[in-house]
Amino acid sequence: MPLPAPSASPERVDIQLGERSYPILIGAGLLDDPQSFAAVPAAASALVVSNTTVAPLYAKALRQALAGRFRTVHLLELPDGEVHKNLRTLNLIFDALLGHGSDRKTVLFALGGGVVGDMTGFAAASYMRGVPFVQVPTTLLAQVDSSVGGKTAINHPLGKNMIGAFYQPQLVVCDLDTLQTLPPRELSAGLAEVIKYGPIHDMAFFDWIEANVDALVAREPAALAYAVKRSCEIKALVVGQDERETGLRAILNFGHTFGHAVESGLGYGEWLHGEAVGCGMVMAAHLSQRLGGVDAAFVERLTRLIERAGLPTVGPALGADRYLELMRVDKKSEAGEIRFVVIDKPGSAAVSSAPDALVREVLAQCCRAE
């Protein structure tokens, strides 16, 4: 499919959740345009939550864009990194809100990647039992996944994203220009979540990614614009049917059960979330093959694409016992039984348990030897 030229006005994808519905705006130059935020309720104050890497790049422009809607726009710079996605850092947001005398109408703006977005969302969900917030995602991963759908959380030393809430933003503004300053490793991490949408829902999109992965790695604006838009459309469709993950939404966690084990097993931040998910999808594809959903050619095709996106495809040597132990601490687990997202046919996913013996075979095949 030829790529349409990027449009001058933003693309809009709507997430339909009744009174919690909101738009996702996607385009270039959105962050410093006051018009992007026209739908946000005006209030006395706003707090932009960012981190020490992103704030120097984009906070000034965002604060200027918001200046007409708020009397004061404060900025909080959190320490950068997954290792800081915890209770101590979350508390810095509450300190800032209380320190500035923020009220119930104060609007929080999450300016950064998924770490800032997940923590700011959780702070918004709990400050005074809930204040409005807006996602301004600046990583590919956050634009295609974490800023959309209202999952907010912090990590616990015993498990990833274990403390959190479902809490929807009022608006998501994806400024594609911000992706140009992302380190290459972070861009690849975001591609893992883009690739995910193919096997679970849309094999035509998978074909498109295969044909355009080099353009995506080279950050061609038209390719990025389409990847973000199509990913958001699929995510909006799934979340619109199952906001609180009582069923369907779990398919968005393809590769995540293995991936979260890699992240917490190695220590948060050692592998990026997207890297762990990319490699986790390879493992989940092998498991799907053993359960009869896909053939070896499909597993090979997916593995090759993940590799071309610049992601690891071989898991670290944590040992099968440790992997199994870590995977039991997963929100999908029920009564200690691990549940995996598997592909039941290309373009369709389901949640399934699997015998430990089969999972051990997959780990032996897909991970480095101890």
Ligand-binding site membership of 138 (annotated): yes
Q: Indicate which single residue of 142, 216, 225, 252 sits in contact with ligand GLY (rule: CB under 6 A).
A: 252
Among candidate residues 244, 174, 202, the one with its CA nearest the CA of residue 1: 202
Task: Report d(CA 81, CA 85) in Å as an integer.
Answer: 7
Q: Decide: 282 and 313 in contact? Cβ < 8 Å.
A: yes
| Burial (CB count within 10 angstroms: exposed 0-12, middle 13-18, buried 19+), residue 241 | exposed
Q: Mapping DSSP to helix (H, G, I), strand (E, B) and coil, where does residue 147 land?
A: coil
Ligand-binding site membership of 116 (annotated): yes
Interface with ligand NAD by CB under 6 A: which residues?
A: 51, 53-54, 57, 80, 82, 85, 112-116, 118, 138-139, 141-142, 145-146, 149, 151, 161, 178, 181-182, 186, 189, 273-274
Nearer to ligand NAD, 141 or 363 (CB): 141
CB of 283 to ligand NAD, least distance (A): 18
The residue range among 29-37, 92-100, 145-153, 362-370 that interacts with ligand GLY, by the rule CB under 6 A, is 145-153
- Give the ranges where the chain is alpha helix by DSSP (H): 55-66, 87-99, 114-126, 140-141, 184-201, 203-217, 221-241, 256-266, 273-290, 296-308, 320-328, 356-366
Dihedral sign for Cα 187, 174, 254, 344, please: negative
Ligand-binding site membership of 180 (annotated): yes
Q: Which residue is nearest to ligand GLY (CB)?
A: 252
Ligand-binding site membership of 114 (annotated): yes
Partner in contact with 229, chosen from ligand GLY, ligand NAD, none, beta carbon below 5 to 8 Å by kind:
none
Among candidate residues 249, 60, 287, 50, the one with its CA nearest the CA of residue 145: 249
Nearer to ligand GLY, 166 or 310 (CB): 166
Q: Indicate which single residue of 151, 160, 201, 273 sits in contact with ligand GLY (rule: CB under 6 A).
A: 151
Torsion (CA) 244, 250, 254, 256 in degrees, nearest 10: 60
Ligand-binding site membership of 81 (annotated): yes
Which active-site residues does the annotation give? 129, 151, 193, 235, 245, 249, 253, 256, 260, 273
| Positions in the binding site for ligand GLY (CB under 6 A) | 145, 149, 151, 249, 252-253
Q: Which residues are documented as binding site for NAD(+)?
A: 80-85, 114-118, 138-139, 151, 160, 178-181
